[in-house]
Amino acid sequence: MPVTPEQQAEIDALRSAPRQTLRAVSEGMESHLYTAYPVLDHGFVRVIDYMGDDAAICQAARVSYGKGTKSVQNDEGLIRYLMRHWHSTPFEMCEIKLHVKLPVFVARQWIRHRTANVNEYSARYSILDREFYIPAPEHLAAQSVVNNQGRGEALTGDEAARVLDILKSDANRAYDHYESMISEDGQQGLARELARMNLPANIYTQWYWKVDLHNLFHFLRLRADSHAQYEIRVYAEEICKIVADWVPFAYRAFEDYRMGGETLSAAALDCVRRMLKGETVTQENSGMSAREWRELQEVLG
């Protein structure tokens, strides 16, 4: 189950005891606070705490840039200006702390985003639950023949059944051995810190992950992208929904300039200018490599 009865009791207790505060409050985020949103088959994402809102971004920007922002007429316009011109520190004034339950192999991707604070469930101290990520049939895909780190067509029929059986049986067999090693018929078993090395990468772990908004946007730009691995993308998409309610002005600017925008190289921009003047531009006279040219064509549709 995504949330244990003990965790649900803690969530219910926290949500039933609101407190008066003088700190900045985002009404959109308050509706999400502590709620566990299911992800994959046993995972979840929930907000434990947060700091700041759209106004905090503007407050920091006006302190930092002074007269340089006086021509901006409203907070949303200022935030869009900051996002458009790649300012970072005003967005760092907002922070979020998430409790995430996720498969270990997803955690190993996630942890590559190093500009965050992380505290993970300790399998040296505690015993991991018998919970494994098993892909739904539609996400059980073959290796892509054009992308070494991507997926191709979904497996079907006997092959899909064979793979699912291997995933389930191997995971349970490894956990059976894990249990037997840490408790040998009432005798003192193998140390937990050693026994855990036999567990598969699809077992679930949990952590608290605290990050500022600037670095969270970088995470979301990469992991909520359609090219990201499905298993981490669904976590990023769930976080996107939360952030959209937390800092709506900043999130809309992020969608426009980062998720929906494109960055062109000097050579690519020169090609676009020549095209607008009516010049016939080809890969041969563009000054770009074949791959760069292909990517520009994809951007231009």
Contacts of 217 (CB under 8 A, 6+ apart): 91, 254, 258
121 is in an annotated binding site: yes
pLDDT digits (tens, 9 = 90+) for 78-134: 999 999 999 999 999 999 999 999 999 999 999 999 999 999 999 999 999 999 999
Any bridge partners for residue 96, and if so which?
50, 211
pLDDT exceeds cutoff 60 at 179: yes
* C-alpha pair distances (Å), 56 with each of 21, 68, 92, 168, 250: 16, 18, 10, 48, 11
Which pTM was predicted?
Answer: 0.90
pLDDT exceeds cutoff 70 at 140: yes
How far does CA 235 lie from the centroid of its chain? 5
How many whole angstroms separate alpha carbon 27 and alpha carbon 203?
A: 35
pLDDT digits (tens, 9 = 90+) for 26-72: 999 999 999 999 999 999 999 999 999 999 999 999 886 555 555 55
Per-domain residue ranges of the chain: 5-133+202-259, 137-200, 266-300
pLDDT digits (tens, 9 = 90+) for 193-208: 999 999 999 999 999 9
CATH code of 5-133+202-259, in short, is 3.30.1360.170
180 is in an annotated binding site: no
Contact 152, 142 (CB under 8 A): yes
Residues catalogued as catalytic: 223
31 is in an annotated binding site: no
How many whole angstroms separate alpha carbon 214 and alpha carbon 247?
A: 12
